Structure 1
Amino acid sequence: MKMRKLFAGIAAAATLLGGLALGGATANAVDADANTGVVTSNATFKFTVENAAQWSNRSLSYYKLADYVQYDSNTADATASAYGVQTVNGHDAAIEAALKTAGITVPTGVDPMAYAMGLETGGLDQSAAKPWNEGTTRKFADALKNALVATDLTVATLTDAADNAKTVSLPAGVYLFLDTAASSTDNDAKVLTAQSAAMVVSSGTLDKTDKVITDPTTAAEVNLKNHITTVAKTTDDKDNTVSTGQDVKYTVTTQLPITTGFANYTFKIVDTPGVGQDVNKDVKVTVDGTEVTEGTDYELTYDDTTDAAKFTADGAKSFTIDFAKLLANAEYNTKPYYGKTVVVTYTAKVTADTDPVTNDVSVNNNGTEVKDHTNLTLGKFDFVKTDAQGNALDGAKFTIEAADDDDTDDVVPVTPTNAAAEADANGKVEFKGLADGRYLVTETQAPSGFANFMAKFYVTISGGEATDFEGADAWGLAPSLSGKTDDDTYAVKNVRNITELPKTGAAGIALFAALGVLLAGAAATVFAKSRKASRMLNA
């Protein structure tokens, strides 16, 4: 019974193998090859996740390491079968090499998997830790993963199960499962699930008394210890409408990855500001709320190195934050850093006067990407300058300034850099590069030949367009117009003399007040002259 003792030791050590189901379930009928004793019955391998998003853009592939072999009855029941472990035919060399990398040297002529699983100490082990950074099985799985090529692997056909789990039915045995993930092409998804480390998983039930595998087909259950990487890019402008010349602060938020099982893990943030802004080179990076150091924890590189303080964005120039140094830190997985929130901030000045101004960001998580973007809009409006008869006038000059009337909402107008405009030959006056909000427009110079009665009005920009006008001058030169449509033309008048001023409302009152002042002046003059004449006659 030398063979029995060998496999009893193997089975006992197999309790340390990740994914091996332990329990006292009644053995099911198991099929085995009549010549080799290799178990041919299937077992279910179940993979669970904490969040359904962990299945996004991924699949599992497998490489079988060992078969179960029916070899003898157990001591308690001579009719019951027990099972041992045997390396899959043709996989010996690759497995033996990977075991050696993990520190397990297989004696010549000995089955690699049987030996590694049968060692009382120093053999393959298991851990429920997240991440599983150390141990012989971790080193073995990583070494074997790196040695395999695509043709060595088979993609698992996964079936949906309850609670976001998935299962695959495979011949009972011991497997290496590899997780793969694809790049996200949906900018609105903003979520990426990174790869899990390579996993060694085995089916089977262990009889703890006799220390033998009594049912090799018992299902194995593994929790995928992958992580979800999200990215979000935001600005400090509440409604993402901006004015030319406005300073904008950008914030990128993501999470550091679990790097277990991967050599030279890549984690980079690549930010590409769009046309219409000067980007300041004032990047600040924090991890879990604490600022980290450029050159020590990350490397920051700019495509444009012409100016040390800023660069002009063109939609192609990027800057990259590479976290390779932090990931290589000996404390990265023990402190741990993985899963901690990374926040990147920088500022830019908007130089465009038309929309949109876009900014893209991508997170390269070991070859897979997740993306997000911001979209800033700038509004504009125009009006027509006319005389009292409605004829277009050129030469009138105007200024515009922010005049917010509500500090509690998200709409914050900002006076643009170019806050002056002049009527063209068609009388058109245009202001561009405006954030949503309320503005005051003031005439500063009347056209040549016209009286110095200046128009003034408020305009509300919403959705990048003028929606409401409110006359604000005493002369009624700028009328009020609510709910402007594309078919409406807003006209602001100039007059050659006081008699052309509107005769109704406040403007009419102002006119009559002006006339009253003139008449009063004339009366005073006449009275003064009358008194002077009277004195001369009485002299």
Structure 2
Amino acid sequence: MEVRTSLRKALGVAISAATLLALMPLGASMANAATVSDGTDLQLSTADKATLTVKAEKNSYIKGHKFAALRIGTYDYAAKTTATTGDDAHKLTGLSVGTVKDDTIKQAVTDAYTSLKDGAGQNYKLEAAYTDNPVGQVAASLLGFKTTDSLTNNKDESSSKAPYTGQLRDLVTALQKNSAIDAKFAAAPTATAAENETATTATFEGLPQGLYLIKDIADASQIPAGSQLSIPMMVGTGVYEAGSDDNPYVKFVADESGTQLGTVNVKDDELTFTKTLDPNSTSLGKNDWGKFHLTTKVPLTTGFAHYEFKMVDTPSKGFTLPNPLDDQTHGVKVYVKAKASDANTDANKISADLYTLGTQTNSSNGLKELVIDFSNTLANHTDTFKYGYTIDVAYDMMMNGLESQPSNGASLSHSTDPKCDPSVPNTTCPVDVINVPVVKVHTFAIKLKNVLRSNDAALTGSQFTITKDGATDPIEFVKHSPTDPNNGVYTTTDPTGTAQKTSTLDVSSLADDTKGTITLNDMPTGTYVIQQTHAATSPTLRGVMLPKFKITVTKGDGSLTDENVTSSVSVIQDAWGLVNSTAPAGLVTVTNVPSVVQLPLTGGAGIILAVIVILAIAALFGGTVVLKRRHEATRRRV
């Protein structure tokens, strides 16, 4: 049979696929449509029994979203295959699309189509045969249907692939901005996405068959965190034949795409946002720099009039931001890369003019927050911000010692409503805010106890210093004395920044369980050198054989968001053997002796003691020999 001017062979109505949800395109593989043979006429049903289904995976974030379906195109003629068995049975060979009898819709589609521009910058025009059928023109010029006339047979495949930009996407976006079309949706049929055993679906039932615009009309302020309203989509119902209303034609012959009419397959595009701390930064000391990362993915901005995308880091007072914020060593650097596992390199570090750095004041505590804002660049630089790529914001913050175990959180705010335009006066567009759990930098306590070796009696008056392994100067502490200045408790934290500091640590002289102890709070993990610099004064011991040894503090199990994380302390023995080799519950016991003869008889001290004894015997033997020789010499003189 002869194919009519408006008949589109072997494809029919294709959806735009240009949605936030990565909708699958129909007919994307129909380049071979011209090779199929014509079928036989199909008498179209006039009953309103068509269905449209928006379908997503189980647990999809579109659950609860409400959609409206506005009919803009009619099915005027269809052809089917003659095969009754095999792969070609019950399939379409062609479908003719018309425009609904509604002057508002007709004008809106005409205006949207003629606002598009070709590669030469010229506006599209309606062909003579489609002056009264702009939806038919859309099918011919954008959906790629093969015709037998001289019309241009363009197929806008870019609108069917991520990031779903292109002429068809632009047309649907133009339609969503049309206030007259927007008003039509108020009376359109609706369906709400619900979850079943296998999927999340929103199904329209009892529709006249044809081509529809589907719009997400959910309340943008009520949708799940990390999601946003979908961009309007264009989709057709299955083709229903008179007398067989329950068995529509949904596939086209020679179509290998796997898609079908009547169903929109949705892929979730939920935003995620994480904050991490480099493994070497999970325990920090004063003046140490922690290396932080904020990570998310480039969202789908297609169809949005404006897209807000802003990260905010909220540090507690124990952290100091780099100054300047783009400091070469510690400042903010942004990387955009194909995979999260890709290394951050100069090749994927983006230019600083593609984001805005700044600070703002936290309304609750008055502290400075770090702001990284991509709102003015993300949607306009898709060559850099490719949809689905990973954005990794890396920066350092210094632990300033003003707070014990400082913490910080972060948030990502992003647009949720594609139809909202903030340039319209008195318009505030909704945003979703994703908050990450607060990240904590864990510090730990180190406890020493100085005792007499002979009876484990606590000693007082002794002093110690502690130095980071490899450093030359001892660490300075603030005496922590909420009840008594002699309690032997010290901390590296100085909330005021003005407290007097000391590197000389006195053991507790209190007559309680703390006697002879030193407690060092807010210590990061690492290896330290501890040296006793002064012997006890009660009882009085000579300042000889004072131990010098190392300890290593190791973080125990627990995540960055846990409130309490344990630690363990291991001891590297001193030369005298005066330090216990184990530190149960983090307590390091340091023993002193009043004389060399009380040193342990094992290890280095035992060797030293043996050497001393040998030297003493040698000295005694030498003295005896000298006396004997003198005696013999005296006898000879006599």
Q: TM-score normalised to the size of structure 1?
A: 0.68
**What does residue 315 of structure 2 align with?**
273
* Displacement of 1:319: 1.4
CA distance in structure 2 between the aligned counterparts of 1:95 and 1:144, rounded to whole angstroms? 14
Among 280, 298, 306, the alignment partner of 1:256 is 298
Indicate conservation of the 8 Å contact 1:478/1:492, yes or no: yes
Indicate conservation of the 8 Å contact 2:50/2:237, yes or no: no
Among 336, 339, 353, the alignment partner of 1:287 is 336
Identity %: 19
**What does residue 327 of structure 1 align with?**
378
Counterpart residue identity of residue 291, structure 1? K
**What does residue 138 of structure 1 align with?**
170
**What does residue 429 of structure 1 align with?**
518
* Displacement of 1:269: 2.2
CA distance in structure 1 between the aligned counterparts of 2:188 and 2:592, rounded to whole angstroms? 82
* Displacement of 1:334: 6.1
Structure 2 counterpart SS, 1:138:
helix
* Displacement of 1:532: 7.4
Indicate conservation of the 8 Å contact 1:381/1:465, yes or no: no
Indicate conservation of the 8 Å contact 1:98/1:140, yes or no: no
Farther-moved stretch of structure 1 (263-272 vs 40-49): 40-49
Counterpart residue identity of residue 445, structure 2? K
Counterpart residue identity of residue 358, structure 1? S
* Displacement of 1:160: 5.1
**What does residue 365 of structure 1 align with?**
414
* Count of residue correspondences: 474
CA distance in structure 1 between the aligned counterparts of 2:292 and 2:627, rounded to whole angstroms? 74
| 2:134 is equivalent to residue 116 of structure 1 | yes
Alpha carbons of structure 1 residues 436 and 536: separation in structure 2 relative to 1, 3 Å: same
* Displacement of 1:263: 0.6
CA distance in structure 2 between the aligned counterparts of 1:377 and 1:250, rounded to whole angstroms? 15
**What does residue 408 of structure 1 align with?**
none
Alpha carbons of structure 1 residues 229 and 383: separation in structure 2 relative to 1, 3 Å: same
CA distance in structure 1 between the aligned counterparts of 2:50 and 2:165, rounded to whole angstroms? 31
* Displacement of 1:244: 3.9
CA distance in structure 1 between the aligned counterparts of 2:275 and 2:173, rounded to whole angstroms? 37
* Displacement of 1:117: 1.5
* Displacement of 1:521: 4.8
* Displacement of 1:214: 13
Could you report, residue by residue, the CA deviation over 1:269-303 in whole angstroms, capped at 9, with x for unpaired residues?
A: 22223442223221111223433222x31111122
Alpha carbons of structure 1 residues 271 and 524: separation in structure 2 relative to 1, 3 Å: same
Alpha carbons of structure 1 residues 372 and 422: separation in structure 2 relative to 1, 3 Å: same
Among 382, 387, 390, the alignment partner of 1:341 is 390
**What does residue 125 of structure 2 align with?**
none
Among 160, 185, 192, the alignment partner of 1:128 is 160
* Displacement of 1:262: 0.5
CA distance in structure 2 between the aligned counterparts of 1:336 and 1:206, rounded to whole angstroms? 43
After superposition, the CA RMSD in angstroms is: 5.1
CA distance in structure 1 between the aligned counterparts of 2:413 and 2:75, rounded to whole angstroms? 47
Indicate conservation of the 8 Å contact 1:141/1:176, yes or no: no
Counterpart residue identity of residue 379, structure 1? F
Farther-moved stretch of structure 1 (243-252 vs 142-151): 142-151
CA distance in structure 2 between the aligned counterparts of 1:370 and 1:68, rounded to whole angstroms? 40
**What does residue 477 of structure 1 align with?**
578
Which segments of 5 or more consecutive residues in structure 1 lack a partner in the other structure?
A: 1-7, 33-38, 77-81, 106-111, 187-191, 208-212, 306-313, 404-414
Could you report, residue by residue, the CA deviation over 1:16-39 in whole angstroms, capped at 9, with x for unpaired residues?
A: 652697898997995x5xxxxxx4
| 2:236 is equivalent to residue 202 of structure 1 | yes
**What does residue 595 of structure 2 align with?**
497
Among 424, 440, 451, the alignment partner of 1:386 is 451
CA distance in structure 2 between the aligned counterparts of 1:141 and 1:501, rounded to whole angstroms? 87
Structure 2 counterpart SS, 1:303:
strand
Indicate conservation of the 8 Å contact 1:416/1:434, yes or no: no
**What does residue 70 of structure 2 align with?**
65
Could you report, residue by residue, the CA deviation over 1:32-81 in whole angstroms, capped at 9, with x for unpaired residues?
A: 5xxxxxx43141324357xx68x23655433332278799999x9xxxxx
CA distance in structure 2 between the aligned counterparts of 1:361 and 1:265, rounded to whole angstroms? 19
Could you report, residue by residue, the CA deviation over 1:366-415 in whole angstroms, capped at 9, with x for unpaired residues?
A: 22344445433222220211234412323321324349xxxxxxxxxxx9
Indicate conservation of the 8 Å contact 2:240/2:249, yes or no: no
CA distance in structure 1 between the aligned counterparts of 2:611 and 2:15, rounded to whole angstroms? 95
Alpha carbons of structure 1 residues 417 and 198: separation in structure 2 relative to 1, 3 Å: farther
Counterpart residue identity of residue 339, structure 1? G
Among 421, 425, 441, the alignment partner of 2:530 is 441
Indicate conservation of the 8 Å contact 1:68/1:172, yes or no: no
**What does residue 47 of structure 1 align with?**
55
Counterpart residue identity of residue 536, structure 2? P
Alignment of 1:170-185 (within 5 A): 170-173=205-208, 174-178=212-216
CA distance in structure 2 between the aligned counterparts of 1:29 and 1:371, rounded to whole angstroms? 53
CA distance in structure 2 between the aligned counterparts of 1:465 and 1:530, rounded to whole angstroms? 67
CA distance in structure 1 between the aligned counterparts of 2:50 and 2:269, rounded to whole angstroms? 30
Could you report, residue by residue, the CA deviation over 1:66-100 in whole angstroms, capped at 9, with x for unpaired residues?
A: 278799999x9xxxxx99867598xx758855764
Indicate conservation of the 8 Å contact 2:361/2:367, yes or no: no
Counterpart residue identity of residue 15, structure 2? G
Counterpart residue identity of residue 396, structure 1? Q
Could you report, residue by residue, the CA deviation over 1:201-226 in whole angstroms, capped at 9, with x for unpaired residues?
A: 2213399xxxxx99988542334466
**What does residue 397 of structure 1 align with?**
464
* Displacement of 1:119: 4.0
Among 359, 375, 400, the alignment partner of 1:302 is 359
Q: TM-score normalised to the size of structure 2?
A: 0.59
Structure 1 counterpart SS, 2:354:
coil
Counterpart residue identity of residue 450, structure 2? K
Could you report, residue by residue, the CA deviation over 1:106-160 in whole angstroms, capped at 9, with x for unpaired residues?
A: xxxxxx9984324478988564233333436633445436744896787633355
Alpha carbons of structure 1 residues 422 and 343: separation in structure 2 relative to 1, 3 Å: same
Counterpart residue identity of residue 346, structure 1? Y
Among 15, 18, 22, the alignment partner of 2:15 is 18
Farther-moved stretch of structure 1 (525-534 vs 253-262): 525-534
CA distance in structure 2 between the aligned counterparts of 1:340 and 1:285, rounded to whole angstroms? 13
* Displacement of 1:472: 1.8
Structure 2 counterpart SS, 1:481:
coil
Structure 2 counterpart SS, 1:144:
helix
CA distance in structure 1 between the aligned counterparts of 2:333 and 2:441, rounded to whole angstroms? 22
* Displacement of 1:228: 4.4
Counterpart residue identity of residue 71, structure 2? A
**What does residue 3 of structure 1 align with?**
none
| 2:293 is equivalent to residue 246 of structure 1 | no
Structure 1 counterpart SS, 2:409:
strand
Farther-moved stretch of structure 1 (114-123 vs 130-139): 114-123
* Displacement of 1:490: 4.1
**What does residue 411 of structure 1 align with?**
none
Indicate conservation of the 8 Å contact 1:302/1:318, yes or no: yes
Indicate conservation of the 8 Å contact 2:551/2:569, yes or no: yes
Alpha carbons of structure 1 residues 9 and 165: separation in structure 2 relative to 1, 3 Å: farther
Could you report, residue by residue, the CA deviation over 1:454-477 in whole angstroms, capped at 9, with x for unpaired residues?
A: 123443433265645446223332
* Displacement of 1:345: 1.3
**What does residue 88 of structure 2 align with?**
none
